[in-house]
């Protein structure tokens, strides 16, 4: 793998307050993620998401995270947030991903949970219909959340994998390990949520700044 990632990009996910969002923008994040999933401690309703999206418009790419949404929820998300990208973090099939992309008229990123090499076998089917793939740690059995659990998977699984351009890495990342993650996987995009929090759903400004700085340093 390359020792330096010249153009690594950063997504700060699960932002829920104007202050946290401003911190991410000031730090230089490339994407901001707004979670619409009521079981998540990072959930924002569409009224709040609309305000946060407007705050970020023109400054960063705005992502809405949805979990197994029906058509009505997709339409509501697009209408309220006007997102630049829709992140699907549930058990959506490739056909459903394609249908959501067509319905929304927006690019789509599909999250795939990874625990063993066999989990990578799903990538080609999703890469054929999604604009970007996100590899996240597969949640443990019985977990309430499909992501944002602060766990990482074994990056060695990706050593010989042929991954689509733009594949993003997530799962258990923080300022202390993101440089290693970039260097070991060779990927050029990372997504963090719990790794920049002081408590579930509570973003820490210093951790956000440190995470972005660590990515930029690794890419330098």
On whether the CB atoms of residues 112 and 130 are closer than 8 A, the answer is: no
On whether the CB atoms of residues 131 and 109 are closer than 8 A, the answer is: yes
Instruction: Return d(Cα 32, Cα 34) in angstroms, integer.
Output: 7
DSSP secondary structure, 85-147, as one string: EEEE-S---HHHHHHHHHHHTS-EEEEEEESSGGGGGGHHHHHTT-SEEEEEEPPPTT-S-SS
Residues designated catalytic: 13, 136
On whether the CB atoms of residues 13 and 65 are closer than 8 A, the answer is: yes
SS3 58: coil
């Amino acid at each position: 793998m390359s020792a330096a990632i010249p153009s690594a990009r950063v997504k700060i996910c699960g932002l829920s307050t104007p202050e946290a969002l401003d911190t991410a923008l000031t730090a230089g994040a490339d994407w901001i993620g707004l979670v619409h999933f009521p079981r998540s401690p990072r959930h924002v309703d569409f009224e709040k998401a609309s305000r946060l999206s407007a705050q970020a418009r023109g400054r960063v790419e705005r992502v809405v995270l949805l979990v197994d949404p029906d058509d009505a929820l997709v339409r509501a998300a697009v209408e309220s947030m006007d997102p630049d990208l829709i992140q699907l973090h549930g058990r959506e099939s490739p056909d459903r991903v394609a249908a959501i992309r067509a319905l929304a008229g927006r690019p789509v990123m599909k999250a795939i949970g990874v625990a063993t090499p066999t989990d990578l076998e799903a990538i080609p089917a999703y890469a054929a219909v999604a604009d970007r793939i996100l590899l996240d740690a597969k949640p443990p059995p019985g977990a309430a959340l499909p992501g944002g659990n602060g766990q990482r998977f074994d990056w060695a699984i990706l050593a010989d994998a042929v991954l689509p351009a733009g594949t993003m890495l997530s799962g258990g990342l923080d300022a202390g390990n993101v440089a290693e993650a970039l260097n070991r996987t060779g990927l050029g995009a990372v997504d963090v949520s719990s790794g920049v929090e002081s408590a579930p759903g509570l973003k820490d400004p210093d951790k956000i700044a440190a995470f972005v700085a660590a990515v930029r340093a690794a890419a330098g």
